[in-house]
Amino acid sequence: MKKTNNIILETALKALLFFIVLYSVYIFTAGHYYPGGGFIGGLMTSGAIVLLLITYDIKTVQRILPINYRIITAIGLLFAIGTSAGSLFFNVPFLTHAFTHVELPVLGDLSLHTATLFDLGVYFVVVGVTMTIIQTIGEDE
Amino acid sequence: MLDIVIRIALLCCSLAMLGLIYRVIKGPAIPDRVIALDAVGVNLVAITALISIVLHSSAFLEIILLIGILAFIGTIAFAKYLEKGVIIERDSHR
């Protein structure tokens, strides 16, 4: 393996990574009214982390983002089950969601829905599973 | 008028994609095929934009950015594989 210097890719990454992560957050939050949602948002976030992995290497990325992706998957499943089982405390069937309108000083009229928390669980599970698969294959000799 | 112009533009993009697919099949070396596939992705962005004008819909505008990002990541991964023989290194500073 010859010594290479990929400074163009590293400089481009610094500009692009911000936009990819911002786009994935946008597509996650817009999922209720527009195309998108937790699945595609999680896939785009893991795409950004894959771009980091391609530019640097596994050890550097593990130092930048010290995350165990199996725990992320477990947290996502906990979010999904928690928001589904939370409805049982209010004497309504499993997976019943609720929403309300909240008036906040800066943001104005917000419609907050518990389905967003369920979607956040989907997001975490997708990021965790995708990154576990890719890192496990990448660490293999 | 705009409708006819968009149909002609779609036809031109399709012809360009046919030429690129000829290069993907025939390309003598692997880098020719990779660059042709990257250009197919760019043409796909153009076709998606034109189709969203034809259908009077803004639901495909996220797809355009998505195709751009995915084509970039795929091309970078192929380029790194061709240069170093490995896509994800374990430790590059050893």
CA A140 to chain centre: 25
Question: What's the gap in Å between the CA of B41 and the closest CA on chain A?
Answer: 17
Query: Chain A within 8 Å of B66 (Cβ-Cβ)?
Result: yes
What is the DSSP pairing of strand A108-113 with strand A99-104?
antiparallel
pTM of the model: 0.88
Show the low-confidence residues of chain A (pLDDT under 70): 1-3, 141
Out of A36, A44, A53, whose CB is closest to B88? A53
- Whether the per-residue pLDDT at B86 is higher than 90: the answer is no
| Residue reference for tokens 């911000």 | A18
Phi, psi of B20, rounded to the nearest 5 degrees: -70, -35
In angstroms, the CA B2 to CA A25 distance is 35
User: Do the chains contact at B89 and A58, CB–CB below 8 Å?
Assistant: yes
CA B37 to chain centre: 6
In angstroms, the CA B34 to CA A125 distance is 32
ipTM over 0.90: no
Residue A2's pLDDT is 57
- Whether the per-residue pLDDT at B32 is higher than 90: the answer is yes
